[in-house]
Amino acid sequence: MAVLNWASSRAATLSSCPRTAALVVITTWLLYVIGLAVYRLYFHPLARFPGRKMAAVTTWYEFYYNFWYGGKYLFEIEKMHKEFGPIVRINPHELSIHDPEYYNELYVGSSKRRTNFWPLFQGCTDDTDVNHFMTIDHDLHRQRRKPFDPFFSRMAINTRYWPMLAEKAVFLESRIREYKGQGKAVRLDRAFSAFSADCIERICTDDLEPGDGFLDQPDFGPEWYDGMLGLIRNAPILTKFPKALSSLGYVPQRLLLWLFPQGRIANKYDERTRTQIHKAVTKQHLFKDTTSSEHTTLFRALAQSNNLSPADKTKERLVREAKLIFLGGTISTGRTLSFVSYYILSRPDIKIRLEDELRDVMAAWPEVVPTWTELEKLPYLQAVIKEALRLSYGFMRRLPRVSPDVAIQYKEYTIPPGTPVGMSAYLMHSNPEVYQDPDQFVPERWLGGDTRVMQRSYVPFTRGSRSCLGQNLSMAEISLVLAMLFRPDGPRMELFETDESDVKHVHDFVVPLPKLDSLGVRVMVR
């Protein structure tokens, strides 16, 4: 009782003296900050790992480079590796490894060990509503991903979806040819993203109205594409303050859209997605067998899946899955296609050699469509694609993995269980010890000779149990579009006010981006 009386009297004293109360609060906060810094530097399980002291003390160090300089922390990590070696501590909780020989030891299959996800958005620790990609727990991720696999397998692409991809490629060509003689430039990055968006939507749903695709929109829907890029550029804020995203629901929508105009596009697509999910869930009773029905779509299969719990089949969670599939299957593939198109159009030697190789296989296009297998057998086409994926990176940022149960050994370092460890495709693909002149676009490096060392370091889709779900679809789309555009009878395109700085990735906003004032890859159709 005496203690309570003393505490009450002290509280009364502090409340009657605001300056004293403020001093106590500030002193307590400073002691906490100092104590936390001392713990992280000297007593934390990662204290003995090399790296910059400031990075070990606070996540604000990473935020500073990503927010103030625009997605530049990746390049600071590169400098750290040059300074401290192949393993460095890049923030209070996380390690980065730069060693091509270790990649397959970190990104492993389920048979070797369980692999948990380290949230891209710090603070997202609840698996309840997140999509399968961001599901933390290994077993739950495996369960949630399983229904997707049949829709993105090689067999599905080769048989079920190849005619649809060809149909969309024909439409893409016709839309590009509409610009012939118009004196107006085509934004290829927008066109390719619209193509990828239409393809992924056809896999997800069959309820779209004619003329409702992204390829149908004037100029390929610039407000949608630019809005998506605007949201992507907010990645530093979202990764540092993940709870801010959920709290936006309490802000009046009119005020929110005034502050963030890009949100209008997100809202439109959110409504579009919810409509398709609602139709899929509503119609699921019409199609009892999702494995054999010719009407099967991804959304409908998810709504019916026996592998998913009822909680995982709520409309809200299916909407989150749909957004992931759409964004992951659109922007990345679209940007890779515009990236490689720039180099083909700016390098006559590449364009001529590609046309020669495509001459026979594309002679009767579009009446006769080559198979994906036939396109994969064209060595120069595939070399061009590989080099494009090497320099466009796919997912530029490190992708941390967590071994929840067992320690991981890297040379003399024992990494404690539960520690996020990441490796970056950018560092793997830019290694001068593996790739001669790594910043140069040289498709010939993949032709002839022994390419095993390069193949080992080539990871545009990552590896292991959490490798990219859509890699088969992406490779098929890229192969088909390049074959269509750069065959001898393809559209005659010339670069318009576009140079290498419009495609060279210099910002890591989760999705790699070139200079922020770039107007994209623009061409005139002759």
Q: Are 92 and 44 in contact (CB under 8 A)?
A: yes
Assigned token pair, 53: 């002291």
Contact at 8 Å (CB) between 135 and 460?
A: no
Do residues 188 and 497 lie in contact, with contact meaning Cβ atoms separated by under 8 Å? Answer: no
- Identity at 157, one-letter amino acid code: I
Give the number of other CB atoms < 10 A from CB of residue 438: 15
Any residues with CB less than 8 A from the CB of 228 and at least 6 apart, and which?
Answer: 193, 265, 327, 330, 331
Q: Does 468 appear as a known binding residue? A: yes
CA angle 150, 463, 344 (to 5 degrees): 90
Number of H helices, E strands in the chain: 24, 12
Max Cα-Cα span within the chain: 95
Sheet strand arrangement including 87-89: 87-89, 95-97, 420-422, 401-402, 116-117
Q: Which residues pair with 89 in a beta bridge?
A: 95
179, 202, 201: which is closest to 191 by C-alpha?
179
Distance of CA 197 to the CA centre of its chain: 15
Which two structure tokens, joined as six digits, stand for 269? 């697509």
Contact between residue 484 and residue 491 where contact means Cβ atoms under 8 Å apart: no
Cα-flanking dihedrals φ and ψ of residue 414, to 5°? -100, 115
Q: Rounded distance, CA 102 to CA 371, Å? A: 36
Q: How far apart are CA 158 and CA 516, in angstroms?
A: 37
Tokens of 262: 């890009």
Calculated CA dihedral for residues 220, 226, 228, 232, nearest 10 degrees: 150
Task: Please check whether residue 521 is in contact with residue 502, taking contact to mean a CB–CB distance below 8 angstroms.
Answer: yes
One-letter identity of residue 237: I
Backbone dihedral angles phi then psi of residue 295, each to the nearest 5 degrees: -95, 5
- Known binding positions for heme: 468
- Known binding positions: 468
